[in-house]
Amino acid sequence: MRVLVTGGAGFIGSHIAEALVAAGHEVVVLDAFLPSAHPGGADVGDRPGVRTVRGDVRDADTVEYALRGVDAVCHQAAMVGLSTDFADAPDYVGVNDLGTAVLLAAMARRGPRELVLAGSMVVYGEGRYTCELHGAVRPGPRRVADLDAGRFEPPCPTCGAPLLPALVGEDAPTDPRNVYAATKLAQEHLAAAWARATGARAISLRYHNVYGPGMPRDTPYAGVASFFRSALARGEAPRVYEDGGQRRDFVHVADIARANVAALQAVADREAGVLAPFNAGSGTPHTVGEMAAALAEAYGGPAPVVTGEYRLGDVRHITASSRRLAAELGWRPTVDFATGMAEFARAPLRGQAPAGGRSRR
């Protein structure tokens, strides 16, 4: 099968391209090589099993060219992470939503009819919570006054009691709470509309916090794992926001690549005209503070600093249940938290030379 991987030279996309080649597929990479994803530049040449097209997914002619002879599309190209300012909104909408619309329009004209979309857990907003008195509840956005006072846990919206976070299933309501989240949900709606209009088949893999070798260094749009790893590479302590108790699901990029291979192999058997969402996470929650401590310990210090700072638009807890992906597509994560963090502590980031002898392992 010949697969177009948009954003296929980026952090996650490059791992997916390698996994597809290893599985016997031919890959076409379409990537704009934006500095935010490729600090220090990038090698744009072809490699065995991979043909590279340099161009923007918003350019219809480039997309048409990249789609020639393609059997399926794995759409990874996106501007990621929580925006530094609402002024970034046009860039997020342009890259994520206009880019997706241009791609899907080209696919509607010339095919193919099978799509795997890089979704995100951010579409859920806050995660799943239960109140001892009121059962399952959905807390609203956290108040600035509470955050300023260091009250980071969202209370029950009915009685104000403490809540217990739990795993989120794909049937949970969506509630995007920042610009990036809104664009990721819009991508799913566009893909669903395309599938209905063309009788195509689509899967959205709602990634949780992906980490691993090749994350871009020192960019405000990278994930929290990259923030911490970049700080350690500079000899600085990772700065942990809030009290470090935010629960996330950290999933290794190799497992996400395998999930994409499984989804591409299964998408042809899905129901036509429907987008099927699947959570893609490790299934084992950890706090942000635990992740920072594990990275710092494996790297050889310095120890993290808990700052009490916060970012508006961040949610407190969001962790996934990936049981549906395991049950229907046969995928299971293989890299456990301790092993993955020890590897990530040693692995180079994009824009950084390989780590030296600071690691303890």
Alpha-carbon distance 79 to 91, whole Å? 8
63 contacts: CB under 8 Å, gap ≥ 6: 30, 55, 57, 102, 103, 106
Q: What is the pLDDT of residue 172?
A: 92
* Mean pLDDT of each 10-residue bin along the chain, 361 residues long: 96 96 97 76 70 97 97 95 82 96 97 97 93 93 95 96 94 92 97 98 97 84 86 95 96 98 95 96 95 97 96 90 95 96 92 38 19
- Cite the beta strand spans of 269-352 per DSSP E: 274-280, 286-287, 305-306
Q: What is the pLDDT of residue 105?
A: 98
∠ CA(89), CA(91), CA(92), 5° rounding?
A: 65
**Residue of 92, 129, 180, 310 marked catalytic:** 180
Active site includes 299? no
Alpha-carbon distance 98 to 133, whole Å? 44
Torsion angles phi and psi, residue 339, rounded to 5: -65, -45
Evaluated on CA atoms 67, 92, 258, 352, the torsion sign reads: positive
211, 217 in Cβ contact below 8 A? Answer: no
Q: What is the pLDDT of residue 220?
A: 65
Q: What is the pLDDT of residue 348?
A: 87
- Judged by DSSP in three states, 2 sits in strand
Q: Which amino acid is at 111?
A: G
Does the pTM of the predicted model rise above 0.85? yes
Q: Which amino acid is at 243?
A: D
65 contacts: CB under 8 Å, gap ≥ 6: 53, 55
User: Which residues are registered as beta bridge partners of 287?
Assistant: 247
According to DSSP, residue 142 is labeled P
Whose structure tokens read 């072809």? 46
Q: What is the pLDDT of residue 339?
A: 97
134 contacts: CB under 8 Å, gap ≥ 6: 156, 158, 159
Task: Tell me, letter by letter, the H, E, C secondary structure of 208-261.
Answer: CEEECCCCECCCCCCCHHHHHHHHHHCCCCCEECCCCCCEECEEEHHHHHHHHH
Q: What is the pLDDT of residue 41?
A: 59
Q: Which one, of 160, 81, 189, 173, lies nearest residue 127 by Cα?
A: 173
Q: What is the pLDDT of residue 42?
A: 58
For the chain, which domains are there?
2-126+167-214+250-281+319-334 (3.40.50.720)
